Chains A and B, each alone.
Chain A
Amino acid sequence: MGTLGRAIYVVGSWIRGAGQAVDRAGCALQGSHLFEEKVSRHRTLMNLFDKDPVVDKDAFVAPGASVIGDVQVGRGSSIWYGCVLRGDVNSISVGSGTNIQDNALVHVAKSNISGNVMPTTIGNNVTVGHGAVLHGCTVEDEAFVGMGATLLDGAYVEKNAMVAAGALVRQNTRIPFGEVWGGNPAKFMRKLTEEEIAFISQSATNYSNLAMVHAAENAKGFEEIELEKSLRKKFARKDEEYDSMIGVVRETPEELTLPDNILPEKAQKSPA
């Protein structure tokens, strides 16, 4: 660093000091109404004494989610934004390839009261929709729990069964293989068709692909984010139609291309 650079650096730190002084003066003027912002103290994975969550390295846990206590998350699973998995009084296990979508809540019943031990078990390739509440229940492989559904204690969702959106499944209800239950309280609605069963497993794979993209994005450091911001600005484009009209072919930098499997036209072709 040259002498000039050093001088500018020193002047810069003076001005910053002055800025901070102005900030403090402003804070003093605001007085008791001041709210000072603090570094986020939110813990994504949190242990309670000896119960610590075990999350596979290929799983995606959104930074805004909270995974607390005795929780096991398997390979390729995804816990989306704002989810809460609270295994404080009993254990929660989430299989592989499962997705638990935004703002869902998974909790467990109090352990060992009247001999009833109710851990929450979620199998492999399960899709749990947005805002679902799973409380001390068991969900088998490749089941589908729709948006905003509520599963109370001891509910049991068998393989390939489906809980429709907004359903409330009462205590100790068993939803048999390949059936759709909906309403409040949940009742049998109809059988699932073959296509729908295929769709459930497809949706789980789609989601695990999508989770990978989100995981990569959320894990980025500050420098990477800034670099991509500048790249995005540089390669900003009008819509495809506009480009074809004026005959421009634009290239997308490597950092900004998403993997193929999340784009709809690519993923639909892929085998289920």
Chain B
Amino acid sequence: MDNLIFGRYYPGNSFVHRLDPRLKLIINIMFIVLIFLLNNWYDYLILGVVVLTGVVLSGVSIRFFIKGLRPMLLLILFTVALQLFFTTGKTVYWQWGWLAISQEGLINASYIAVRFLLIIFMSTLLTLTTQPLEIADGLEYLIRPLKMIKFPVNDVALMLSIALRFVPKLMDETTKIMNAQRARGVDFNNGSILKRVKALIPLLIPLMMSSLDIATDLTTAMISRGYRDGEGRSRFRVLKWRRRDSLTLLFFVVIAAVVII
């Protein structure tokens, strides 16, 4: 679990750290849409440079990002392999039964790989430089228009910030229970698939039970501190949109326009 940097916050005070979380969310969404619209190498090169600039500006070492890719590597390879072997095309380089590598497959596969890389880098950049609570605040702001269609924005925002707050706690709890069960002779890493799935039961049941306990305690504590529902609350953390946010957004919109044209 130590290698998982996806979704973890890296404390710092760089340019990227200080940007408004709403901006970072908007850019991330735009970026993902953009990635799927594009399919030529020059555009990807430009986006790659943008992502790299972001990484450099964030002050987080690039090696850290690359290490964070490791848990996703299997997924990427799997998707790439699917694309590679199952895309049918005209120019076939190699064939064995219904498996074939064609020129189109090769191109598709490399697009997929680049898309994966860029999206993972960009979203890791978001989570590494933005505190979970900031992300929750930003999201709440962005989905606020949905109130008009009776969407429970406040409740969703509350659920989101509580969920984010308890991710590390549940991770710790998971490690602790795993260790406790390993000390009682459970082997999580060896044996057949059936055996491994069975080994998860001593982990999952206590985890569920402790989640229920945490939920009960938390609701009691919230009610006793005067929480009724999200309507009519004032806020302690207020997001501030500064000039550098506008400039960054402008820069990104220009880049997007350039690559689309």
**Do A and B bind?**
no
Which B positions have Cβ atoms within 8 angstroms of A? none
Which A positions have Cβ atoms within 8 angstroms of B? none
